[in-house]
């Protein structure tokens, strides 16, 4: 069985049962004028990982292994957006408000779409999720079953919110989880670091972490 050099120990995987999960690489989180910027965040931190995420996706495509994308977004009537989620904090714009790229985090609006550099291609699954985790109120579990996936490699944003939530959900369901450290990012450097430490703690209590180069080397790229 192939092995990826990882922390806290190596990650054994079967290419036939391994998929890449790319979390929420959306304009609303990564570009100016989106939801992330409305919260006062520095979106250039997230923009910096785009080339690395692109390399990782291309490596999986070249190896003919599944790539699954997620988008956090809500129905236009906000019926799947709890009031406490929309009303929290003091952003300049709230979920559903009109922004430069359409209504923020609303399904079908330009801002909710995935950025061009890592846009899905024909045949790749795209999961629209109303929550932080990809399993909640989606068909993610059925898609993984259809691909016979047991080993999941994670990339995307943000590390401590949607990426970590989905990894923890997957871990609880028995999936083997690996995070590409250089293909994920947070608006807060300390949050990313703390999340990586939590994932690796106690022998990999949530999963394992590695670099994109290590993954691509194991895939033969």
Q: Give the C-alpha separation, 210 to 197, whole Å.
A: 12
Helix (H) or strand (E) holding 184, with range, is: strand 176-185
Q: Which of 24, 113, 128, 182 is catalytic?
A: 24
- Alpha-helical (H) ranges within 71-176 are 83-87, 140-146, 164-172
Asked about 132 being catalytic, the answer comes back as no
Say whether 24 is catalytic.
yes
Provide the terminal-to-terminal Cα distance of the chain, rounded to the nearest Å. 17
57-70 CB burial, b ≥16 within 10 A, e <16: bebbeeeebbbbbb
Active-site hit among 162, 177, 182, 192: 162
CA 141 to each of CA 14, 59, 150: distance values in angstroms, whole numbers, following the listed order: 19, 23, 11
**Out of 128, 129, 182, 192, which one is annotated catalytic?**
129
Query: Where are the extended beta strands (E) located within 75-114?
Result: 98-99, 102-103
d(CA 207, CA 41): 28
d(CA 42, CA 210): 25
Q: Are 19 and 149 in contact (CB under 8 A)?
A: yes
Asked if 129 is an active-site residue, the reply is yes
Measuring CA to CA, which residue among 182, 186, 187 is closest to residue 153? 182
Backbone angles phi, psi at 170, to 5 degrees: -65, -40
Q: Which residues are catalytic?
A: 24, 129, 162
């Amino acid at each position: 069985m192939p092995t990826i050099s990882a922390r806290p120990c190596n990650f054994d995987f079967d290419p036939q049962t391994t998929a890449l999960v790319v979390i929420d690489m959306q304009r609303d989180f990564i570009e100016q004028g989106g939801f992330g910027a409305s919260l006062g965040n520095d979106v250039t931190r997230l923009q910096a990982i785009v080339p690395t995420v692109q390399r990782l996706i291309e490596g999986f495509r070249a190896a003919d292994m599944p790539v699954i994308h997620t988008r956090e977004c809500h129905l236009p009537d906000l019926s799947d957006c709890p009031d406490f989620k929309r009303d929290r904090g003091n952003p300049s714009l709230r979920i559903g408000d009109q922004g430069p790229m359409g209504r923020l985090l609303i399904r079908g609006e330009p801002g909710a779409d995935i950025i061009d550099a890592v846009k899905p291609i024909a045949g790749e699954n795209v999961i629209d999720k109303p929550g932080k985790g990809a399993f909640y109120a989606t068909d993610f579990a059925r898609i993984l079953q259809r691909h016979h996936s047991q080993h999941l490699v994670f990339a995307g944003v943000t590390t401590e919110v949607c990426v970590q939530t989905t990894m923890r959900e997957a871990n609880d369901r028995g999936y083997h989880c690996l995070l590409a450290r250089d293909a994920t990012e947070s608006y807060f450097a300390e949050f990313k670091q703390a999340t990586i430490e939590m994932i690796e703690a106690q022998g990999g209590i949530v999963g394992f972490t590695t670099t994109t180069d290590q993954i691509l080397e194991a895939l033969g790229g």
